[in-house]
Amino acid sequence: MSEIASRLQHHFADEEQQYDAATFGMWVFLVTEIMFFGGLLMTYVVYRTTFPQVFAEASHHLNIYLGTFNTIVLIGSSLTMAMAVHSARLNHRNALAGYLVLTMILGSVFLGVKSYEYAHKWHEGLFPGNFFYDGPDAVHQRLFFSVYFALTGLHAAHMIIGIGIMAVMLRMTLKNSFDENWYTPVELTGLYWHFVDLVWIFLFPLLYLIERHG
């Protein structure tokens, strides 16, 4: 009991207030993330509306198999993250550590595939700083790849941060920092990771799946 009391910061009345404040704060933070990605997504929508045909053609340079594979990997990591929070809630320490490791592995697989895709685009000359593609309407195709790299790069940066946070969570788990009464950091990490998954759920059809028929 004394251990629990020490986790209550002086300015909160009780633990419920502290927990509510933390989760609500995380949701407000996710709102700022919506607007952060929103600025780029708006850029995407404006250019796709302006150059629909070019964007469709440019999108066919992306590898749909790798994109689908990555989608599955990331949704899987969301499941393992949900299970991690679940284990924390039941105070199953080993399961929590295991699911955290699994989530980190799946996240790294995603990033590995992504970097392979990036390297491939570099060799094809479809990288904004290294652009020598000379197919039809190359100028506007380049615009697609600018937006593609900005969006996926920002998403990847969020994943790297997420994996870093999970490493901290893993360390705290192994040091027995959490119990069924206090696992707020794991819960917040979960919210963040699911949000990163949510962003990809939109990026995948927007970037990879434009008019694949035809």
Partner 1 sequence: MPKHSYNPQAAVRAYLTVFSCLMGFTALTVAAAFVDLGPMNNVVAMAIAVTKAVLVAMIFMHLRGGSPLNVLWISSGIFGFMIMLAFPLLDLLSRNILGIPGK
Partner 2 sequence: MQTSERKKPNYLNAEHTVASWLLTVDHKRIAILYLVSITLMFFIGGLMAGAIRTELLTPAGDLMSSDTYDKAFTLHGIVMVFFFLIPSIPATLGNFLVPLMIGAKDLAFPRLNLLSWYVYIVGATIGIVATVTGGLDTGWTLYTPYSTAYATTNVVLPAIGIFITGFSSILTGLNFIVTIHKMRAPGLTWFRLPLFIWAHYATSIVMVLATPVIAITVLMVVLDRGFGLGIFDPKAGGDPVLFQHLFWFYSHPAVYIMILPAMGVISEVIPCFSKKRIFGYNFIAASSLSIAVIGFFVWGHHLFTTPQSMYAAMAFSIISFAVAVPSAVKTFNWAATMYKGSITFEAPMIYAFGFMGLFLVGGLTGLFLGALGLDLHVHDTYFVVAHFHYIMVGGAIMAYMAGLHFWWPKITGKMYPEGPAKAAALIIFVGFNLTFFPQFLAGYAGMPRRYHYYPPEFQIFNVLSTAGASILGFGYLLPLCYLLWSLRHGREAGPNPWGATGLEWMIDSPPPPHNFDTTPVVNWEPYDYPAAHRDAAKDAVPEAASV
Contact partners, residue 160, CB within 8 Å, separation at least 6: 111
Q: Where are the alpha helices (DSSP H) in the chain?
A: 2-7, 15-50, 52-59, 64-89, 93-124, 138-174, 184-208
d(CA 178, CA 170): 10
**198 contacts partner 1 (rule: CB under 8 A):** yes
Identify which of residues 84 and 143 has a Cβ nearer to partner 2 in the complex.
Answer: 143
Identify which of residues 127 and 169 has a Cβ nearer to partner 1 in the complex.
Answer: 169
Identify which of residues 30 and 109 has a Cβ nearer to partner 1 in the complex.
Answer: 30
Q: Which does 167 bind (CB under 5 to 8 A by kind): partner 2, partner 1, none?
A: none
Identify which of residues 67 and 156 has a Cβ nearer to partner 1 in the complex.
Answer: 67
Task: Indicate the SS3 state at residue 127.
Answer: strand
Pairing status of strand 126-127 against strand 130-131: antiparallel
Nearest to 120, CA basis, from 201, 74, 65: 65
Q: Which does 181 bind (CB under 5 to 8 A by kind): partner 1, partner 2, none?
A: partner 1
Residues that bind partner 2 (CB under 8 A): 9-13, 17, 20-21, 24-25, 28-29, 31-33, 35-40, 42-43, 46-47, 50-51, 128-129, 131, 139-140, 142-143, 146-147, 149-150
The first and second tokens of residue 57, run together, are: 């053609």
d(CA 52, CA 46): 10
Question: Under rule CB under 8 A, which residues in 49-108 are in contact with partner 1?
Answer: 49-50, 64, 68, 71-72, 75-76, 78-79, 81-83, 86, 89-90
Classify residue 147 by burial, with Cβ atoms within 10 Å: 0-12, 13-18, 19+: buried
Task: Indicate the SS3 state at residue 64.
Answer: helix
Span from 35-43, 96-104, 151-159, 165-173 in contact with partner 1 (CB under 8 A): 35-43
Q: In this structure, how many other beta carbons lie within 10 angstroms of the beta carbon of residue 202? A: 12
Q: Which positions lie near partner 1, rule CB under 8 A? A: 15-16, 19-20, 23-24, 27-28, 30-32, 34-35, 38-39, 41-42, 45-46, 49-50, 64, 68, 71-72, 75-76, 78-79, 81-83, 86, 89-90, 181-182, 190-191, 194-195, 197-198, 201-202, 204-206, 209-214
